[in-house]
Amino acid sequence: MSTLHAQNLHWQVAAAHIVQDISLHVAQGELVGLLGPNGSGKSTLLRMIYRTLRPHSGCVLLDEHNVWRGSARDNARVMAVLAQESSSEFDLSVRDMVLMGRTPHQSPFARDSDEDFRIVAQALERMQAHTLSERMFSTLSGGEKQRVLMARALAQQAPFLVLDEPTNHLDVRHQFELMNLIRGLGLTTLAALHELPLAAHYCDRLYLLKNGRLAAQGTPAEVLTADTIAQVYGVRALVHTNPRTGKPLIEYLPDELL
Ligand SMILES: Nc1ncnc2c1ncn2[C@@H]1O[C@H](COP(=O)(O)OP(=O)(O)OP(=O)(O)O)[C@@H](O)[C@H]1O
């Protein structure tokens, strides 16, 4: 089981309320998208959920356990994270970078086992990054780095995934491949996304932030309406229904910015 309940999360800096009283849940096996314009609070909210930024109020429950009460190590066994901040400061080979995903499963000072190496190789293969194993992480392109960081999250073998802009830096084909892979994993997943068409096609439900508050929540068809896109993003769009999937198809009208 893996179900997330974030309740009344709030974070502020000085007088600025960056995340205001947000509650959300992700049911077992659901892929839930977190949307919102730049600076709307997506990363701040995710960092409270993945135990990097302590909420000023509210709580985060994963299967009824408060993630802020247990140890970071216990948490890493149940929650894998692809964070937005680049880890380019790590001067590690790609293999060692992905091996870091195994740390929560190893006893202190234990050496990497054959099983760890097998899991790492499999994760790299899944992300089509196995040919990069010997390279230094810092020398990779943006998209290659992103795929390696995703491989590290997969190697962690946690039932709950938190992904902050997983398709960042990826070309359109790799975006679809990654989203297909995430869907296929069947894990409980919360992902911040910028591409509304990807969110419309892949997510079960969406939460849309504006200025640190929830502007809309529901299925893609409920959230991604032309009115809501106009109000939250200031962009005019036509929203059609994909005749094959029944999901929203978004056509932007960039000459009619609001
Ligand atoms: N430590 C901090 N001090 C001051 N302001 C902060 C701090 N952390 C976040 N902010 C501000 O809070 C707002 C929300 O930031 P956040 O990174 O959560 O947005 P986001 O929705 O993830 O944006 P993006 O789509 O650009 O990644 C921004 O205006 C940011 O500058």
CATH number of 4-256: 3.40.50.300
pLDDT tens-digit map of 216-236: 999 999 999 999 999 999 999
Does the model's ipTM exceed the 0.85 cut?
yes
With bands split at pLDDT 50, 70 and 90, how would you rate the model's confidence at 78?
Answer: very high
For ligand 1, say whether the CB of 15 is within 6 Å of any of its atoms.
no
Counting atoms of ligand 1 from 1, which one is nearest the CA of 212? 14
Compute φ and ψ for 173, nearest 5 degrees. -65, -45
pLDDT for res 13: 95
Nearest atom within ligand 1 for CA of residue 18: 12
Q: pLDDT tens for residues 91-126?
A: 899 999 999 999 888 877 778 888 999 999 999 999
Q: What angle do CA 64, 11, 152 make, to 5 degrees?
A: 60
Q: Closest ligand 1 atom to the C-alpha of 36?
A: 21
- Is the CB of 38 within 6 Å of ligand 1? yes
pLDDT at residue 1 greater than cutoff 80? no
CA neighbours within 13 Å on the CB side: how many for 130?
10
Ligand 1 atom nearest to 194, measured from its CA: 25
Question: Is the CB–ligand 1 distance for residue 42 below 6 Å?
Answer: yes
31-35 vs 65-66, strand pairing mode: unpaired
Cβ(44) – ligand 1 distance below 6 Å? yes
Tell me what percent of the chain is helix, strand and coil, each rounded to the nearest 5. Answer: 35, 30, 35
For atom 30 of ligand 1, the residue with the nearest CA is 39
Does the pLDDT of residue 86 top 90, yes or no? no
- Measured in angstroms, how far is the CA atom of residue 184 from the centroid of ligand 1? 31
% of the chain exceeding 90 in pLDDT: 81
- Tell me, using a 6 A CB cutoff, whether residue 85 lines ligand 1: no
- Distances, alpha carbon 172 to alpha carbons 94, 169, 179, in Å: 23, 10, 11
- Nearest alpha carbon, ligand 1 atom 28: 39
Mean pLDDT of the chain: 93
Domain boundaries defined on the chain: 4-256
